[in-house]
Amino acid sequence: GYGTIQRRRFSAADSAPPIQRRPIQRRPIQRRPIQRRPIQRRPIQHQPIQRRLIQRQSQ
């Protein structure tokens, strides 16, 4: 009778590992915030535009 109980434990362990593989797919989601960095480069283009306005005032 004890042997059958041990076999059931192994069957439960076999079904456990595939469940652990699912959270690994959540890691690539962290790569999306990296795309938000180039958005910070846009305000840098606004700076040269302000310099042109300063030149007009000097004239």
All structural domains of the chain with their residue ranges? 2-58
Token code pair at residue 17: 């590992």
Average pLDDT over residues 38-55: 60
Q: What is the pTM of this model?
A: 0.12
Q: How far, CA to CA in Å, does 29 sit from each of 21, 23, 35, 40, 54? A: 15, 11, 11, 20, 44
* Tens-digit pLDDT profile for residues 17-34: 655 555 555 555 555 555
Average pLDDT over residues 50-56: 64
pLDDT for position 58: 65
Furthest-apart CA atoms within the chain: distance in Å = 99
pLDDT for position 44: 58
pLDDT for position 53: 67
